């Protein structure tokens, strides 16, 4: 028997075993998940096909119910004008609302068991199933998939992915949104170390951004720290095969944390902390979340992907759907180009972020470090939005620099600050007025063909992103820059505001955007000077959007002025 004939017979057996018992007899047609990522990201190399008996961990996203109702509840609990404001859903409430229908759950389970899947685990909301299969079983289950091992990224990590799109049996298509562990490659960090600016004379100058510089600029006094008496907590999440070291955090606080009360160690690590060298990004996240949100219990989600076939960001979303008690504020320095993700994946992840908002979690995502971005579509340049920064259910943080890099002065745009307009998500109602005002009044708008003016616009806020000191692998490193720095700083400030709210008997802030836009940036320093980068062509000459009075798609509403922001957000 030829190999092709044998493979055809095995595929037919899978079709018969897995489907005839479940669906219309004799039907074994397939439909693909739309727009699956098929291009290999730069820096990744295939090492060839994976052995057919090697084990894979795949995650099946089951179709949810009542997503529109969930969206309505997010609006109700996040809008200060609503009688339901602050009355967040529990994880059990969310599960009751969105869990797949019994038919969906049974259908997918039977399909997987017939294919030989084992050790299947669900989550509290029952909308994900993670199972183990051999490569042979997975390729029969998902026709078209062909698993290869790849190596890439700065850490030379290994992943297993399929360069070809998969198909689902047509009878399964109404029950499965996507299958995780096939296409999406780990993103690489865009954090960069910039050359030290030239300066003459040093009187009254600082030599880079440290916690004391942050606290001075954003008007945080030595008393603006956590009380240590509440159940307040905050978290950062890491997906880049990067780890922090406790010894680096201790050294950082010894060098830079002497003038404010702080916690000496992370309260809880969720996931696996690798034993390798510390990563600058991981060190930065922890050190600045814990020095801006000083003396507040801090968790670190370390999700490197415990197996080559797992997707770290997806693993983090599963953790959120499986834990009833979570930190109130989460900061995440992660993003992918919108166009690199399938529509099924991006819509489903957006629903996961919606679930978090319904539970009163404040999710802050870095806006990215490529300005407006740039890519070519049918020979025409366009700006390139990033996701999850473009999700309407997260608060996205852009970046700024000091006008004088050595003085604590007014802030201007950091040219790398990510921002723009989504090509996937329409503009949410909460930002309608602010964005319309920007589009009608900005004197420096790029050509309309470069962006989707009706899309969700981001970022929402900003903070300093240029010139940070970080301790990593016991070495103080200067001039580290990126929105990976501004995001934990803004998150720490919001944690301090949550501290005051909790002490006065109020719920935590939850999803901030509806309130933020209603209050038109009150409590924030408006950043009105500078533009970010974009396409290097004759038409726009490297310039994207420019900041101006009020909201703009470069720095949002601006950067935190803690006393004023606390006054704005403490009531109700």
- The catalytic residues are 281, 285, 484
Q: Is 526 annotated as a binding residue?
A: yes
Pairing of strands 167-169, 30-32: antiparallel
What is the end-to-end Cα distance of the chain in Å, rounded?
74
> What does each C-alpha distance from 247 to 141, 212, 244, 278, 472 come to in angstroms?
46, 20, 9, 10, 9
Cα–Cα distance between 115 and 119 in angstroms, integer? 13
Calculated CA dihedral for residues 234, 238, 242, 248, nearest 10 degrees: -10
Cα–Cα distance between 515 and 357 in angstroms, integer? 13
Q: Is 527 annotated as a binding residue?
A: yes
Q: Is 151 annotated as a binding residue?
A: no
Cα–Cα distance between 346 and 35 in angstroms, integer? 11
Cα–Cα distance between 331 and 298 in angstroms, integer? 11
Q: Is 203 annotated as a binding residue?
A: no
CB of 379 within 8 A of CB of 412?
Answer: no
> What does each C-alpha distance from 405 to 12, 75, 208 come to in angstroms?
66, 40, 8
CB of 532 within 8 A of CB of 545?
Answer: yes
Cα–Cα distance between 62 and 388 in angstroms, integer? 20
Q: Where are the alpha helices (DSSP H) in 240-365?
A: 246-256, 280-292, 312-320, 343-358
Nearest partner of 278 among 473, 495, 557, judged by Cα: 473
Q: Which residue has the tokens 């998150």?
A: 491
CB of 551 within 8 A of CB of 435?
Answer: yes
Helix (H) or strand (E) holding 457: strand 455-458
- Three-state secondary structure call for residue 324: coil
Nearest partner of 366 among 331, 338, 323, judged by Cα: 331
Residues belonging to the binding site for Ca(2+) are 526-527, 550, 552
Residues belonging to the binding site are 526-527, 550, 552
């Amino acid at each position: 028997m030829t190999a092709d004939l044998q493979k055809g017979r095995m595929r037919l057996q899978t079709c018969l075993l897995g489907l005839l018992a479940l669906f219309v007899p004799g039907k074994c047609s397939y439909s693909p998940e739309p727009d699956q990522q098929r291009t290999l990201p730069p820096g990744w190399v295939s090492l060839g096909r994976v052995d057919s008996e090697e084990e894979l961990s795949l995650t099946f996203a089951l179709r949810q119910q009542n997503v529109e109702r969930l969206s309505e509840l997010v609006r109700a609990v996040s809008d200060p004008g609503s009688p339901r404001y602050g009355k967040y859903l529990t994880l059990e409430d969310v599960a009751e609302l969105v869990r797949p229908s019994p038919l969906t759950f049974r259908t997918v389970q039977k399909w997987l068991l017939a294919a030989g899947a084992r050790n299947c685990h669900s989550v509290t909301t029952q909308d994900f199933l993670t199972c183990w299969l051999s490569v042979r079983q997975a390729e029969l289950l998902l026709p078209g998939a062909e698993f290869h091992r790849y190596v890439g990224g700065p850490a030379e990590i290994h992943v297993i992915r399929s360069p070809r799109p998969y198909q689902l049996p047509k009878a399964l298509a109404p029950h499965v949104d996507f299958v995780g562990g096939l296409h999406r490659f780990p993103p690489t960090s865009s954090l960069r170390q910039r050359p030290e600016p030239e300066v003459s004379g040093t009187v009254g100058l600082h030599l880079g951004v440290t916690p004391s510089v942050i606290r001075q600029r954003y008007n945080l006094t030595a008393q603006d720290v956590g009380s240590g008496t509440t159940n307040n907590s905050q978290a950062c999440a890491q997906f880049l095969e990067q780890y922090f070291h406790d010894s680096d955090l201790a050294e950082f606080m010894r060098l830079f944390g002497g003038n404010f009360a702080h916690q000496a160690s992370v309260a809880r690590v969720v996931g696996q902390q690798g034993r390798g060298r510390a990563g600058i990004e991981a060190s930065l996240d922890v050190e600045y979340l814990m020095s801006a949100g000083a003396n507040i219990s801090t968790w670190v989600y370390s999700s490197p992907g415990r197996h080559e076939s797992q997707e770290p960001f997806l693993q983090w979303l599963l953790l959120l759907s499986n834990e009833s008690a979570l930190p109130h504020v989460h900061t995440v320095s992660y993003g992918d180009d919108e166009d690199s993700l399938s529509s099924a994946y991006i819509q489903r992840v957006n629903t996961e972020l919606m679930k978090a908002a319904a539970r009163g979690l404040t999710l802050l995502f870095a806006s990215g470090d490529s300005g407006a971005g740039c890519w070519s579509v049918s020979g025409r340049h366009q700006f390139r939005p990033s996701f999850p920064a473009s999700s309407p259910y997260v608060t996205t943080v852009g970046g700024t620099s000091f006008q004088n890099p050595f003085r604590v002065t007014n802030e201007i745009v950091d040219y790398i600050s990510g921002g723009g307009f989504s090509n996937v998500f329409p503009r949410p109602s909460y930002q309608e007025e602010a964005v319309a005002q920007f589009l009608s009044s900005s004197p420096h708008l790029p050509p309309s063909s470069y962006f989707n003016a009706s899309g969700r616009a981001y970022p929402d806020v900003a903070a300093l992103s240029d010139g940070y000191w970080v301790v990593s692998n016991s070495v103080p490193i200067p001039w580290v820059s990126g929105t990976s720095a501004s995001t934990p700083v803004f998150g720490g400030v919001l944690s301090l505001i949550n501290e005051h709210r909790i002490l006065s008997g109020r719920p935590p802030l939850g999803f901030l955007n509806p309130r933020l836009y209603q209050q038109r940036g009150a409590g924030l320093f408006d950043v009105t000077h500078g533009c970010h980068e974009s396409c290097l062509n004759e038409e726009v000459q490297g310039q994207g959007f420019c900041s101006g009075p009020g909201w703009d798609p470069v720095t949002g509403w601006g950067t935190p002025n803690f006393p004023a922001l606390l006054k704005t957000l403490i009531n109700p």
